[in-house]
Amino acid sequence: MNNLEIYVNHAQPVVKTIKKHHNEFYTLWYFNLSPEDLFVKDASVEFMTQDRGGLRFLPKHFSGNIPMVYAQWDEVSGASMVLELSPENRKLLSPEVANTILGEQYKLWEDGVVYLLMDACRDSGFTVTEQIDPTNGGVGNALDFLSRRLGINYLNIHEARTDLEWKLQQ
């Protein structure tokens, strides 16, 4: 189990409670995407689709090896995601997807894991808000991004209010 999946499992009781009692659109899902699942539409990145092999939007519809967390709190544009890209997975991305999500920074991280923090666009898809690697925060900053977006800041790793940091793979 990787750190993104550990985070989702840890936060799931809170997410389910908020969804049940406060916000029906509130959700947090862990996905394993394939490089082919990511595509560019209107200068943003998509993975949920109706036109590529049927309706695909739940974690069970995907079976790749690219870890991703999808967080949603609003029906239309209140969503974010974190994508974890290893060097091997970056090499498998289509040039169009790689250029859209990594841009010129692609060559800087030939050897390490990169976390892409992404926010939903108004029309569709996601755009990169920030690129994180181990030298500028790593997985801790990526998970704190999700907690802030969902409004569950007490799960921020850098504030050490929960035991989440101890559960993560060091």
Phi, psi of 124 (to 5 degrees): -170, 160
Q: How many domains does the chain have?
A: 1
Per-residue confidence band for 136, with pLDDT thresholds at 50, 70 and 90: confident
User: pLDDT at position 83, please?
Assistant: 95
pLDDT at 117 > cutoff 80: yes
**Which residues touch 90 (CB under 8 Å, ≥6 apart)?**
98, 102, 106, 109, 114
**Which residues touch 162 (CB under 8 Å, ≥6 apart)?**
10, 154, 155
Per-residue confidence band for 58, with pLDDT thresholds at 50, 70 and 90: confident
* Residues forming a β-bridge with 29: 70
Percentage of the chain beyond pLDDT 70 is 82
- The residue segments making up the domain with residue 50 are 3-167
pLDDT at 54 > cutoff 80: no
Average pLDDT, the chain: 84
- The pTM (predicted TM-score) of the whole model is 0.85
